[in-house]
Amino acid sequence: MSKGYDIRAWQAGDEVAIRELFQASFGRTLAADFWAWRFNDHPAGEPLIMLAWQGDRLAGHYAASQAPLTCDGQIIPAALSMTTMTHPKDRGHGLIEAVGGALYEMLGQNGYAGVWGFPNAMINATRRRKLGWVPIDDVPTLSLNVAAARARGADPALKVSIVDNIDGRFEALQQATAQPDTLAGLRSTATLEWRIDKNPINTYTRYIISAGEQIAGYAITKAFGSQAIDIVDICALDDAHVTALLASVLKQAQIDGVGTINCWCLRMDPARIAFERFGFAATAPVTYFAGRSFDPELRGFSDARRWRLSMLDSDLF
C-alpha cells in the first residue's frame, strides 16, 4: 500500500518539512517555538516521529511526545500519540498504517511500554482498526456552574496561596500521594516545569496549600476563553485539601466573572467523590482515552480502574 515511499525516523532539520506538511494538511500554521517545546525540549528525551518521504517531499507523518508513566514508584517509558498527517496528494496509500506501524516498532525496540492518548472521533476508529489500539475509557468533562456553586465543606483553616513557579514540593507531594498499583503520568519537577512554566502557548495559575516546608495540596488552572477555567491538574493529601483548593478556584472564578469550571477525573479515582460533593457533574465533551501496550508484563494497561488522569496529560490543555 505504501510502495514508493521512504519511511524513516525523524532527523534534526526535518521539522521545517513537518511544519510545511502541517500547513498543507490542516490549513493552519504550526509555530516553530511550539514544535520545539513539545517535541525537542521534553526532559525525557528527543522527538518520537516517523516520516514517509517521496523523494525530497514529506508525504506522511506520525508523531508521539515523550510521556513517561509511573507505577509503584517506578518510571515507565511511554509515549503520547500526537499528530497524524498525510499530504492531500498522498491520501489513500496506507501511509497512516505504514508510518504508525514503523513508529510503534521503533518504540517497542527501544523499551517503551506503550503508546496512549486521546484520539478524536475521526481518528479513533482508524487507530483501533489499523494500529492495534484498544479503548481504555471515555472521559467526560466534569463541570461546575459558578453562579450556582457554593464552597461546600471547605475548611477555613486550610490556607491556599498562589505561587509563580513549579518547585520540588510538587513532585514530593505526588510521590507522597501515589496510590499502589496505579498508572499515572510522570509529575517530576523537570516535567512539570517543562509542561507548565515553559509552555509557549498557555498561562497557568498554581494554587498550593503549604505544610511546613512542603505542600499538602496543589491545583493548576488555566483560562479557557473568557468564560471558563480548566483545572488541568490537582493533587492533595485527602478530600479536605481537594475541597479547599476547589473553593479557592471557585472564589477566583467568581471574582473574574467566569461561568464554568471544568476538569477531568476518572470514575474510579478516589478524588472523584470530592469533586461530586462540591457540585461538579459529568457533561460534554466526552474524550476518548485509548492506547496500545508493547510490554506484555505491563499489567492492566487497558484497565481504566488503574489509571489516574487529568487534563494535563492531554496536549490540548
* Domain harbouring 10, CATH code: 3.40.630.30
How far is Cα 31 from Cα 41, in angstroms, rounded to an integer? 14
Q: Are residues 96 and 193 in the same domain?
A: no
Between CA 232 and CA 7, with CA 42 as vertex, the angle to 5 degrees is 115
How far is Cα 148 from Cα 67, in angstroms, rounded to an integer? 37
Q: What is the pLDDT along the chain (317 residues), one digit of tens a residue?
A: 577 899 999 999 999 999 999 999 999 999 999 999 999 999 999 999 999 999 999 999 999 999 999 999 999 999 999 999 999 999 999 999 999 999 999 999 999 999 999 999 888 999 999 999 999 999 999 999 999 999 989 999 999 999 999 999 999 999 999 999 999 999 999 999 999 999 999 999 999 999 999 999 999 999 999 999 999 999 999 999 999 999 999 999 999 999 999 999 999 999 999 999 999 999 999 999 999 999 988 888 999 999 999 999 999 99
Phi (first) and psi of residue 160, to 5 degrees: -105, 135
User: What does the block give as the cell for 206?
Assistant: 498554581
User: What does the block give as the cell for 32?
Assistant: 516553530
Q: Are residues 211 and 274 in the same domain?
A: yes
Q: Do the domain assignments include residue 316? A: no
Q: Do the domain assignments include residue 299? A: no
**What would the pLDDT profile of 189-215 be if each residue is shown by its tens digit?**
999 999 999 999 999 999 999 999 999
Q: Do the domain assignments include residue 300? A: no
How far is Cα 70 from Cα 179, in angstroms, rounded to an integer? 10
Nearest to 280 by CA among 249, 315, 308, 257: 249
Q: Are residues 105 and 231 in the same domain?
A: no
Nearest to 186 by CA among 219, 141, 221, 233: 233
**Residue 44 and residue 277 in contact, taking contact as beta carbons nearer than 8 Å:** no
Q: Do the domain assignments include residue 157? A: yes
**What would the pLDDT profile of 240-294 be if each residue is shown by its tens digit?**
999 999 999 999 999 999 999 999 999 999 999 999 999 999 999 999 999 999 9
Q: Do the domain assignments include residue 197? A: yes
Q: Are residues 100 and 155 in the same domain?
A: no
Question: What is the count of structural domains for the chain?
Answer: 2
Q: Are residues 40 and 81 in the same domain?
A: yes
- Residue 225 structural domain: 140-286
Q: String of b and e for 99-137 (b: at least 16 CB within 10 Å)?
A: bbbbbbeebbeeebbbbbbbbeeebbeebbeebebeebb
Q: Are residues 12 and 107 in the same domain?
A: yes
